[in-house]
Amino acid sequence: MTGPAEDKNPQGGRDRPQESERDDQNRNQDHHTARTQQHVTSPRLLEFLVCPLTKTTLHISHDRTELLSRAAGLAYPIRDGIPMLTSEAARELSEDELKRLK
């Protein structure tokens, strides 16, 4: 028997959420994304953040999910509004990405 917030998956297996529950999940994700962008895109915050390797200015990516270091050629991810400024978390920028930054 299914509960009021679920309906039976016609292909068998797990139950799936109804439309209203999915809508709530989408709204929560949109709110989370907006909150993440708000924290990192603050010009005041960006003034204080520097690349941990080169101590040079970081730039925010177009999709606002990474902080980019031109000097180091690295992209640091932003997770839950927090920049992950460690070499373990960083990824190398491709040649094309580096050209676009200059």
Range of the domain at 36: 19-101
The predicted-structure confidence for 50-77, as pLDDT tens digits, reads as follows: 999 999 999 999 999 999 999 999 999 9
78 lies in some domain: yes
β-bridge pairing 16-17 and 91-92? unpaired
Alpha carbon distances (Å) from 73 to 9, 26, 27, 47, 84? 47, 34, 35, 19, 15
Calpha distance 57→47 (Å, rounded): 8
In a domain, 7, yes or no: no
Q: What is the reported pTM? A: 0.61
Q: Is the pLDDT of residue 7 over 60?
A: no
CATH number of the CATH domain containing 78 = 2.20.25.10
pLDDT of the residue at 44: 83
Number of domains in the chain: 1
Specify if 13 maps to a domain.
no
Q: What is the predicted pLDDT for the residue at 47?
A: 86
Q: Is residue 8 part of a domain?
A: no
Asked, for residue 4, whether it belongs to a domain, the answer is no
